[in-house]
Structure 1
Amino acid sequence: MPNPPQLRAAALTVTAVLLSSLMTGCSDGSKDEDLTAQKLNWKECPAPSESEGGGNAPSPLPGGTEWQCATLKAPLDWAEPKGDTIGLALIRAKTSGDPSKRIGSLLFNFGGPGGSGVTTLPAFGEDYATLRTRYDLVSFDPRGVGRSAGVKCEDDSHLDEYFQQDATPDDTAEQETLLTNTKTFNAACETHSGKTLPHVRTSDAARDMDLMRQVLGDDKLHYFGISYGTELGGVYAHLFPKNVGRAVFDAVVDPTQNPEQSSLGQARGFQLALDNFADDCTSKKDPCPIGDTPQDVKDRIATLLKDLDSKPIPGVFPRELTQTAATNGIAQALYSKDFWEYLTEGLQQAYDGDGRVLMLLSDSMNGRSENGQYSNITAANVSINCADAKPRYTSDYVESKLPEFRAASPTFGDYLAWGMVSCTDWAVAGAADHPDVGAAGAAPILVVGNTGDPATPYEGAKKMVNALGKGVGVELTYKGQGHGAYDSKNKCVQGAVNGYLLEGTVPSAGTVCS
């Protein structure tokens, strides 16, 4: 079962999978070399590794620009910068504009934690064509992800079983099964990746980004962070405030929350998105095929989920659609309004006893390809979250919180509450209750919040602005649906973001786009 932060994991990462229906280890290297002086060997990109999600090598951009890949050497342990090193996978598309007007590199992180930037950036490269007129577009697999010392836990067959389990236990026996499976998964992570697990914190990735900045030849880090990428960007700004260039945070994580507060906020956010989906379906001229009123839509979904708890239906052969997989699939479809049609179709089919569409949506969330191979997004997500977050929640504590979670969301409350046990028995202690993003003295950071965002609720944008410090965060509001704002293609949002990144024009604080 994905732990709660994975519900903000990688809507962008999996979108390409839906719409299109090597692991680098540690090496002894040269102990005394200056890693900031290394030269990157850019060359043709290979096909994504299994840990990155598999598939074909990235196609050239319109106009023929080829994607280039390289490996950056970084310390395994930033406390011992002359010690063992790991390789970090990078990808770039060089600027399309006048070289004399080139600003530098624009580094992207698309979220997770656990999403592969090496596979995601090419999938959405055309969306950033305007930004490429003055920047090289660059992204990377953060440490622990994909080809960057990717964490490995369980194999594909075990992951199929893991995601089939009942993640919302109704009795003591089901609770014990969930906790045992969680413990087994976490032990597998330690067995296969024990040397890496202490070194995949967000603060480690932020230090990697400053090394990237130097090796790429930029005086300042120009950055576009989405979802978890906003947390990573905030931690970077805290550690290196004077190195912040032009930065945009979109789909903003609330940096003041601990994992419990984040999960509860997501319960409210996904419930809001489901409410909006039900309202939309029943407000059109054509009859809504999954309910006559918004409440009827939600009641039928509740009945479906209750029935699946005791009697799953056929999904993607030979697997069945369970209550947990259906909940996961519904959540996935709420990431973007573009997915609502898939949700409607999936629910229609499920009511007729066919769970394939909802299971495919769930597979996308979990990083499972059509050939049954999993990327390492779940392993990386758990590893980074558990290394970052100090709290360790017990089943008794979760039980005590169920009423509050159910009040926040009848549909997703139990699912997100029980997700809090994901770090129980984790091999590495968590760093803090929540990240420190205070960045006094940094250049302005444009913070974009979406009022209908299910995974990173809108209130987090204001919290990020306040936490960054006076004169740093500049808030922009998008009155829309889905996870993130720039990829909605709203002209007001894109105009503000492009204006800042390309020309340095900071929008007025409190700007609202709709």
Structure 2
Amino acid sequence: MRLLRALAAGAAALLIAGCGGSGDDGGDGPSPDAKGPSESAPGGQALPASLTGQKLDWGRCAADESGRAPGGDWECARLRVPRDYAEPEGAQLRIALIRARSTSGAKQRVGSLLFNFGGPGGSGLKMLPALSGEYERLRGRYDLVSFDPRGVAASEGVRCRGDRALQAAESVDATPDTAAEERAFLRDAADFGKGCAREDSALLPHLSTAETARDLDLMRQVLGDRKLSYFGISYGTELGGTYAHLFPQRVGRLVLDAVVDPTADSVGHARNQARGFQRALEDYLRSTGEDPKKGTARIAGLLSRLDQKPLRGDGDRKLNQTLATTGIAVTLYSKSNWPVLTEALQAAGDGDGGPLLRLADNYNGRDESGRYDTQSHSQRAISCRDAKDRPTAAEAKRRGAEFRRLSPVFGDFLNWDTAGWCHEWPVPGTRATPEVAAPGAAPVLVVGNTGDPATPYEGARKMADELGEGVGVLLTWKGQGHGAYGSGSTCVDGAVDGYLLRGEAPKDGKVCAG
């Protein structure tokens, strides 16, 4: 789902702020299989020593497409992984890694702490340096490591359309009201998938979350860790849960923050988000002193008018209903962005669509020169390889009234997204919902935020339950925004730090007040 696939820790913050018991010993000590064949995961084959024993050539990081490269202590390398784990000695992919070494001595160092910031499609090579200040305490005992997953950015990233075509597609109505708009919506969805197939046909069948979880385990081995220490945020929680299911005995200290509901299919995720974003919008409206019901009606009215007559934006670009919905949604990822939403809504009410348009551009990965990043391409390629269900337009129309009741502002957008996101996708999905049950694994810390719009709190409870008794440890924060760690709660940060730095999991069910 499009909104679900936003980066978690700071997707909006980066964009806009600039405008218990004891766990096991984590990952310390060399991996026993770092030099030889690995134990296979269920459904996989043992990997050859040429992969598990490879030496990473760490060096200066290259510049990204914008010409920027992380400086300071950051170093980069590439890891060779099988394109197809069923044929581990066949074709290979190269996964881009980034690292900042631990600031402590060898005796204090736990090992490597791997991060995935969400998406899918988020670039760890960009996000970890940008957010590293939040993790400085963790660097005291860990090498901080992140990566661009297979099919993402520097790791042979998927690209399905050029910039001009992406901008042109923004005029397609994502909440069609007529037969002509519906045909244009579905044709655009199908054309996007065809573009991916033209450019990356050999890669598309090998972009599942399960394959990325196997990549994580190969990283663990090559980095020299006995067990995986991991911090997953948003979609990164789905990846972490999948890893725990495939490799329960190799789970070290895993933190899952802003948790995806592992029991929900595509329509279930859309329902969750309709509730979550509406809940966050009403919390925002209360903070301004406006009645949530009246405020919701006011914003829904603005979107309805934009559906008929877009506003002037920047240059010759217009703010339409779809872009305005995206711009509103992205501000709800962090409470610190609520004042930005107030200003943007006021501007739109005065006939200026520029502020909401720029917010939508931030989410859509469009820079001021009109260039787009490839996150949306990777999001779609990975999520459509994962999800087996293919909801139809007819089903979306039947669900319309239900979704509008859930959210008069976001319901239509999320409902229609279920029908368009994987429409006529060129490869089938692999499963209905992710498998995360991890019997026998060490405790996994699951952090839920009661005010999270994109991954509502209920998903954290379900993840903890699905991981299994004695495995999922639920930590609740009564806060706002997408994610909890680093959001200003000393209670949350202290509990997570205690778990990662000392192996001390909080008591299951611990609650931190806002």
Pair in the same fold by TM > 0.5: yes
Note the C-alpha offset of 1:4.
4.9
Equivalent residue, structure 1, for 2:493 = 494
**Does the 8 Å contact 1:108/1:223 carry over to 2?**
yes
Where does 1:358-377 land on structure 2 (aligned, <5 Å)? Answer: 358-377=356-375
1: CA distance, partners of 2:60 / 2:18: 22
1: CA distance, partners of 2:302 / 2:155: 40
Of 255-264 and 40-49, more deviation after overlay is shown by: 40-49
1:56 aligns with 2:56: no
Note the C-alpha offset of 1:14.
5.1
Residue in structure 2 matching 1:39, options 55, 58, 75: 55
Which secondary structure does the structure 1 equivalent of 2:505 belong to? coil
Equivalent residue, structure 2, for 1:288 = none
Note the C-alpha offset of 1:47.
1.9
2: CA distance, partners of 1:342 / 1:48: 29
**Does the 8 Å contact 2:163/2:370 carry over to 1?**
yes
**Does the 8 Å contact 2:82/2:93 carry over to 1?**
yes
1:307 aligns with 2:301: no
CA RMSD of aligned residues (A): 1.4
List 4+ stretches of structure 1 deviating above 6 A.
none
Aligned residue type for 2:133: E
Where does 1:160-309 land on structure 2 (aligned, <5 Å)? Answer: 160-282=167-289, 292-309=290-307
2: CA distance, partners of 1:399 / 1:268: 19
Aligned residues: 485
**Does the 8 Å contact 2:12/2:331 carry over to 1?**
no
TM-score (norm 1): 0.92
Aligned residue type for 1:462: R
**Does the 8 Å contact 2:13/2:334 carry over to 1?**
no
Aligned residue type for 2:217: D
**Does the 8 Å contact 1:4/1:419 carry over to 2?**
no
Note the C-alpha offset of 1:339.
1.0
Note the C-alpha offset of 1:298.
2.2
Note the C-alpha offset of 1:163.
2.3
Task: Provide closer, same or farther for how the CA distance between residues 92 and 38 of structure 1 changes in structure 2, counting only shifts above 3 A.
Answer: same
2: CA distance, partners of 1:462 / 1:446: 11
2: CA distance, partners of 1:69 / 1:32: 24
2: CA distance, partners of 1:392 / 1:467: 24
Gaps of 5+ in 1: 22-30, 61-65, 283-291
Aligned residue type for 1:494: D
Gaps of 5+ in 2: 20-46
Aligned residue type for 2:416: W
Residue in structure 1 matching 2:144, options 137, 146, 154: 137
Equivalent residue, structure 2, for 1:404 = 402
Equivalent residue, structure 1, for 2:34 = none
Which secondary structure does the structure 2 equivalent of 1:136 belong to? strand
Equivalent residue, structure 2, for 1:86 = 93
**Does the 8 Å contact 1:226/1:252 carry over to 2?**
yes
Q: In the TM superposition, what whole-angstrom CA distance separates every residue of 1:69-108 from its partner, at most 9, and x where no partner exists?
A: 1111111111111011111011111111233200000000
Q: In the TM superposition, what whole-angstrom CA distance separates every residue of 1:407-456 from its partner, at most 9, and x where no partner exists?
A: 11110000000001211100111011100001001110000000000000
Identical columns (%) = 52
Note the C-alpha offset of 1:372.
1.5
Which secondary structure does the structure 2 equivalent of 1:42 belong to? coil
**Does the 8 Å contact 1:453/1:481 carry over to 2?**
yes
1:110 aligns with 2:122: no
1:475 aligns with 2:468: no
Task: Provide closer, same or farther for how the CA distance between residues 176 and 240 of structure 1 changes in structure 2, counting only shifts above 3 A.
Answer: same
2: CA distance, partners of 1:84 / 1:272: 47
Which secondary structure does the structure 1 equivalent of 2:418 belong to? helix
